[in-house]
Amino acid sequence: MPNIIKPKPEWLRKKINYSVNQELESLFRDAQVKTVCQEAMCPNISECFSQKQATFLILGNICTRACSFCAVGKGKPMALDLNEPQNVAQTVKQLGLRHVVITSSTRDDLGDGGAEHFCKTVDAIKATDSSIVVELLIPDMRENKDALQLIAMSGAQIIGHNLETVPRLYHVRKGAEYQRSLRVLKMLSSLNPSIATKSGIMLGFGEKDEEVKALMQDLLDVGCKYLSIGQYLSPSIHHTSVVEFVKPERFEDLKNLGMEMGFSYIKSSPYTRSSYMANEYLEQR
Ligand code: SF4
């Protein structure tokens, strides 16, 4: 049954500057690269694009899973674009990015979940300038240890994997398992203790503060010290409904709670997304 899109409260009404978007959109189109900013209809697109920040979406824009909150297309994925690592690296160079976030849709159809393609993209970026900070935001890769080993040793400094929500509400993450995602984060840290791991959640599915607190403790227990917390916004009437528009004060309270519990850095606000102001995290390490 289609959901009802609730009107947004005042603190969630953001203006999008399309003229800035068009400039970068044509650059990305010409370079044949995709960004999750566009594919996921991120509300920060004007702000990030005007600051020349973007998150690249590799491995195609079709996901093999069907999370009910996500705007990325679902279905039969495309063949890998073998030029993509170079195209992303050249775009990073052209934009002069110093901190790059690379993510992908879930590719359960690939034996390694796309790990090798992630690594080739990191290599191509680092070949242009080894001082560029690379952050990967990966799917669970079905907990494939060989794939996670490649990712952990890829040269990326931050590796993120999102829990998205509390375990009671995992029905919105079709094909995912809360405990498996925690194990993925733990495995990444143990495979390469020099990387920082990061996770992200959205509020607004009906989660309770005690549940968020328990989730934060679970993340700390697997060595994850970076967390992003943002508001879930339903992409269309065919996606999961927003149960609650969480007030900015609650984001602040949860951030303070998490920092007291032991996180190194938490970005928490209604418009926070996993890659929002991603450069801030390492500065707080
Ligand atoms: S928050 Fe992330 S996904 Fe959204 S526009 Fe900024 S860089 Fe892109």
pTM: 0.94
* Residue predicted with more confidence, 16 or 29: 29
Which residue has the least CA distance to atom 5 on ligand 1? Answer: 45
Q: How far is the CA of 166 from the centre of ligand 1 (A)?
A: 23
Order the strands of the 55-58 sheet from edge to edge: 34-35, 55-58, 99-104, 133-137, 158-160, 196-203, 226-231, 265-268
Confidence (pLDDT) at 5: 72
> Would strands 158-160 and 73-74 be described as parallel, antiparallel, or unpaired?
unpaired
3-27 pLDDT, tens digit each: 667 788 999 988 776 666 788 889 9
Taking CB atoms and a 6 Å cutoff, what residues make up the pocket around ligand 1?
36-37, 42, 44-45, 48, 53-55, 273, 275-276
**Which residue is closest in CA terms to ligand 1's atom 3?**
37
> CA 45 to CA 150: how far, in whole Å?
31
What confidence tier does 28 reach under pLDDT thresholds 50, 70, 90? very high
Whether the pLDDT of residue 265 is over 80: the answer is: yes
pLDDT, tens digit (0-9, with 9 covering 90-100), for 135-181: 999 999 999 999 999 999 999 999 999 999 999 999 888 889 999 99
Query: Closest ligand 1 atom, CA of 272?
Result: 1
Ligand 1, from 275, 277, 280, 281: best to mutate by most atoms within 8 Å of Cβ?
Answer: 275
41-77 pLDDT, tens digit each = 788 988 888 887 889 999 988 888 878 888 777 888 8
Give the distance (Å) from ligand 1 centre to CA of residue 42: 6
Burial of 282 (0-12, 13-18, 19+ CB in 10 A): middle
Please give the pLDDT value at position 205.
Answer: 94
Query: Tokens representing 126?
Result: 């680092």
Q: Quick check: 2 pLDDT over 90?
A: no
| Nearest CA, atom 7, ligand 1 | 54
Give the pLDDT mean for 238-265.
96
Least confident of 45-54, 91-100, 123-132, 144-153: 45-54
Question: By the 8 A CB rule, do 103 and 36 touch?
Answer: yes
Q: What is the pLDDT of residue 242?
A: 93
Instruction: Report how far apart, in Å, the C-alpha atoms of 172 and of each of 13, 96, 206 are.
Output: 25, 37, 12
**Distance between Cα 54 and ligand 1 center (Å):** 6
Q: What is the CATH number of domain 32-283?
A: 3.20.20.70
CA distances from 87 to 26, 56, 113, 210 (A): 14, 11, 20, 44
How far, in Å, CA of 45 to CA of 273, rounded?
11
- Polymer length in residues for the chain: 285
pLDDT at residue 101 in the model: 97
Distance from residue 152's CA to the centre of ligand 1 (Å): 23
The structural domains of the chain, with segments of one domain joined by +, span 32-283
Each residue's pLDDT tens digit, 177-226: 999 999 999 999 999 999 999 999 999 999 999 999 999 999 999 999 99
